[in-house]
Structure 1
Amino acid sequence: MTRRIVPLTPDRLAAMPGPCSTCVAWECSPADAGRLDHDAEQRCVEKLAWVSSVLREWGSCGRVVLDDERPVGYVVYAPPALVPGAGRFPTSPASPDAVLLTNLWVAPSHTGVGLGRQLVQHLARDLVDRGGYRAVEAFGTAGPPVSPLGWSSCAPPAEFLARVGFATQREHPRHPRMRMDLRSLLRWRDELEAAVERLRGAVRPPVPVASPTRTHETRPAVRRDASA
């Protein structure tokens, strides 16, 4: 069994299981999303168009877990300005210095093995490498997951977000806005790298010291007087 995490692309989105490939709760304004409520085919078209647009404008906006090349989990994220559907949440808007985590889903057959945490870690690593962002934010769901639009918006459970490092930024009984500071991740990474370097230094084998080489001194010849 081969498992790997790869960037989200339009072709990988089309192969997605679960609700993500037909959900436009985040990608469309409330008015446009309502118009597409009963048109699954058009929702797929809109979703693919959104991913392609963000890919051109900002770069990859997600990560996918492949298990033997079969998608079994994913996370989607983008700057708040590119997520018009986020405005319907009561704790919006997201902070301008953050990227918004929208969808996060793991197949029921693969839950309980840490894939959700790994997806969040890959998201954070991507943003740290890009630079320019201070945090990741998400609208959590407290209680049974339901969508403000009537179909699943894949808003992650607030309890899960808290377990993987998010803290409540703005409280709400149903949809708290939560935040993970990337600066703390940077500090943690720097401390980890420093600890690894110290460990390497502690176990590095000693460099053998060469013994000094003795040199033979040449004494000047004693000149004898021929008349002696």
Structure 2
Amino acid sequence: MRDLRPLTVDRVADLAGDSALCTFWQTVPRNGAVLPSEPFDLLSDWVREVTVNWGAPGRIAYIDDRPVGHVLLAPARYVPRLAAFPTTPSDPATLMLLTIRINADQHGRGLRKVLVQTAVKEALRHRVRSIEVIAARPQAVGKHPCVLESTFVENLGFRVARDHPVYPRLRLDLRTIVTVRDGAAAAVRKALAKVSGVQPVPETPPDGATRARVTRAVD
């Protein structure tokens, strides 16, 4: 049975999954090196700070009580690593999708798509109209595993907000039904309907014709 639970301090250890705890977005290189710190302690402090000032910075997916993946998101003010990117948002309140990581045995089962849907619902709960992400294009050299691929997020409806040859910043407008398709899209439509002031609107392409955007299913 799959279950999605808020990221809390007592669940930080469950972020590891099949790999080491990732502190990429929570740290900033100093003179080419990251200051030494225990990943568990660093993430625990970060989760505590964001939770107190904003809310739970993500969700963890469990299957039969075993953690199998997670999604992290937080306002830009709580993401130190953004300062290292040329496409960092100017507004510290911008809600950023940071990363989605899943266990190796979950690839091909649509879990990443479910986690994006969860991030959208969390954004709506905070009355946010968009989510942004700094993603890596295929030509990125030495891409960190915690940085999402631009192809993946574009296939979910994110569109370039500030372009860059390697690390563009993309945005998902939550007033449009442009997310993952099928059952996930229906769930987002239902969530949107409950949020005052946020109304789904059709996408209008440059030619002025209003039509639904079609996105292909991705993992």
Alignment TM-score, normalising by the size of structure 2? 0.73
Which runs of structure 2 are paired with 1:167-178 in the superposition (5 Å)? 167-178=159-170
Cα distance, 1:96 vs structure 2: 4.9
How far the C-alpha of 1:146 sits from its partner, in A, is 6.0
Does residue 1:179 correspond to 2:171, yes or no? yes
Partners of 1:192 and 1:125 lie apart in 2 by 8
Q: Paired residue for 1:45, among 41, 59, 63?
A: 41
Question: 1: distance between equivalents of 2:50 and 2:146?
Answer: 19
SS in 2 for 1:5: strand
Amino acid paired to 1:17? G
Q: CA, structure 1 residues 59+139, in 2 after alignment: closer, same or farther (shift >3 Å)?
A: same
Q: Is the 1:91–1:176 Cα contact (8 Å) retained in structure 2?
A: yes
1:24–1:33 CA contact under 8 A, matched in 2: no
TM-align CA RMSD: 2.8
Match of 1:78 in 2: 74
Q: Counterpart of 2:24 in 1: which secondary structure?
A: coil
Secondary structure at 1:48 match in 2 = helix
Letter in 1 for 2:9: P
The match for 2:148 is 156
Supply the AA of the counterpart residue of 1:159.
Answer: T
Shift of the 94–25 alpha-carbon distance from structure 1 to 2, 3 Å rule, reads farther
Q: CA deviation at 1:45?
A: 1.2
Name the counterpart of 2:129.
Answer: 134
Q: TM-score, normalised by structure 1?
A: 0.71
- 1:139-184 Cα distance to aligned partner (Å, 9 max, x none): 1111277667xxx351111111011121111222211111101122
Quick check: which one's helix share is greater?
Answer: 1
Distance 2:5 2:149 in 1: 23
Residue 67 (1) aligns with residue 63 (2): yes
- Give distance in 2, aligned partners of 1:14 and 1:64: 11
Give the whole-Å Cα distance in 2 for the aligned partners of 1:178 and 1:80. Answer: 14
Instruction: Decide whether the 8 Å contact of 1:20 with 1:103 is kept in 2.
Output: no
Structure 1 position 111 matched with structure 2 position 110? no
Give the residue type in structure 2 aligned to 1:180. L
- Do the aligned partners of 2:94 and 2:131 also contact (CA within 8 Å) in 1? yes
Amino acid at match of 2:98: T
Structure 2 stretches lacking a partner, 5+ long: 179-187, 194-219
What is the identity percentage for the equivalent residue pairs of Structure 1 and Structure 2?
A: 32
SS of equivalent residue, structure 1 residue 59: coil
Unpaired stretches in structure 1, ≥5 consecutive residues: 194-228
2:12–2:40: 8 Å Cα contact kept in structure 1?
no
> How do 1:14-25 and structure 2 match up within 5 A?
14-15=13-14, 16-19=16-19, 21=21, 23-25=22-24
